[in-house]
Amino acid sequence: MSRFKRFVLWAALVAIVVLTAMSIYGAFIGADRAQAFFNSVPLVAYWFAAIALLATGIVVFRRLLRVPSLLLMHLGSILVLLGAMWGSKPGHALQSRLLGIDKIPEGRMGMYEQMQENQVRVGDGNDLEQLPFFVRLADFRLEYYEPGVLLIYSRDGRNWRMPAQAGKTLSLGEGLGTVTIQRVFRNFKMDLQGDKPVAYDPPGGSNPALEITAERPDAPPRKRYVFEQRFGHVDANDPLVMDFRRNAKDYLSSLEIVKDGQVVAAKEIEVNHPLHYGGYHLYQHEWGRDRFGEYSILMVVSDSGLNAVYGGYVSLIAGVFWHFWGRRILHWFRAHYTIGPKAPGESR
Amino acid sequence: MEIKYTIQGLLIYITVAVYLLAFVTTIARRVRAGRGLFVAGFALATISFVYRWVHVRHVPLQNLFEVFLFLGVACYPISWFCRRALRIGGQWADMLIGAIVLFPAGFIFNAEPMQLPPALQCWLFAPHVAVYMFSYVFMLKATFQAGEQFVNRRPRVEETLIPPEQATYELIAIGFPLLTLGLVLGSWWGKLAWGRYWGWDPKELWSLASWLVYVGYLHWRHMSGTKHPRINSLWAMTGMLAIIITLLWVNLAKIFAGLHSYAT
Give the residue, A77 or A345, on which the prediction is more confident.
A77
DSSP 8-state code for residue B60:
S
Q: Which residues in chain B are closer than 8 Å to A3, comparing Cβ atoms?
A: none
Residue B219 CB contacts under 8 Å (≥ 6 apart), including other chains: A9, A12, A13, A16
B261 lies within 8 A of chain A by CB:
no
Q: Give the CA dihedral B116, B120, B125, B129, nearest 10 degrees.
A: -80
- In chain A, whose CA is at the least distance from the CA of B119? A271
Residue B259 clears pLDDT 70, i.e. is over it: no
* pLDDT tens, position by position, A252-264: 999 999 999 999 9
- Give the model's confidence band at A233: pLDDT under 50 very low, under 70 low, under 90 confident, else very high: low
Residue A348 clears pLDDT 70, i.e. is over it: no
The pLDDT of residue A218 is: 78
pTM of the model: 0.90
Residue in B109, B119, B118, B121 with CA at minimum distance from that of residue B201: B119
Rounded Cα gap, residues A268 and A289, in angstroms: 20
Rounded Cα gap, residues A105 and A89, in angstroms: 6
Q: Which of B117, B180, B191 sits opposite A320 (nearest CB)?
A: B180
Half-sphere exposure of B117 (CA within 13 A, CB side): 12
Residue A172's SS3 state is coil
Residue A25 CB contacts under 8 Å (≥ 6 apart), including other chains: A37
Rounded Cα gap, residues B9 and B109, in angstroms: 11
> Distance from CA of residue A276 to its chain's centroid?
17
CB of B193 closer than 8 Å to CB of A21: no
Residue A344 clears pLDDT 60, i.e. is over it: no
**Domain parsing of chain A, residue ranges:** 3-96+305-335, 104-143+249-302, 149-246
Q: Which of B199, B219, B256 sits opposite A13 (nearest CB)?
A: B219
Q: Which of B115, B209, B258 sits opposite A23 (nearest CB)?
A: B209
Q: What percent of chain B has pLDDT over 70?
A: 93
Average pLDDT (A118-136) is: 93
The pLDDT of residue B58 is: 92
Which of A6-10, B56-60, B157-161, B194-198 has the least mean pLDDT? B157-161
Q: Which of B180, B216, B257 sits opposite A317 (nearest CB)?
A: B180
Other CB atoms within 10 Å distance of the CB of residue A346? 8
Rounded Cα gap, residues B19 and A108, in angstroms: 52
When scoring B205, B224, B227 by the number of chain A Cβ atoms within 10 A, the one with the most, hence best to mutate, is B205
Inter-residue long-range contacts of B110-113, CB under 8 Å, 24+ positions, other chains counted: B110/B63, B110/B65, B111/B4, B111/B6, B111/B8, B111/B9, B111/B65, B113/B55, B113/B56
- In chain B, whose CA is at the least distance from the CA of A145? B115
Average pLDDT (A278-292) is: 92
ipTM value, please give it.
0.92
When scoring A141, A271, A332 by the number of chain B Cβ atoms within 10 A, the one with the most, hence best to mutate, is A271
- In chain B, whose CA is at the least distance from the CA of A329? B85
CB of B167 closer than 8 Å to CB of B204: no
Residue B35 clears pLDDT 80, i.e. is over it: yes
DSSP 8-state code for residue A289:
E
B51 lies within 8 A of chain A by CB:
no
**Domain parsing of chain B, residue ranges:** 1-114, 116-264
The CATH number of A104-143+249-302 is which of 2.70.98, 2.60.98, 3.30.1360, 2.40.50? 2.60.98
- Give the model's confidence band at A235: pLDDT under 50 very low, under 70 low, under 90 confident, else very high: confident
- Smallest CA–CA distance, residue A269 to chain B, in Å, is 11
Residue B66 clears pLDDT 90, i.e. is over it: yes
The pLDDT of residue A347 is: 45
Segment (H or E) for A131: strand A127-144
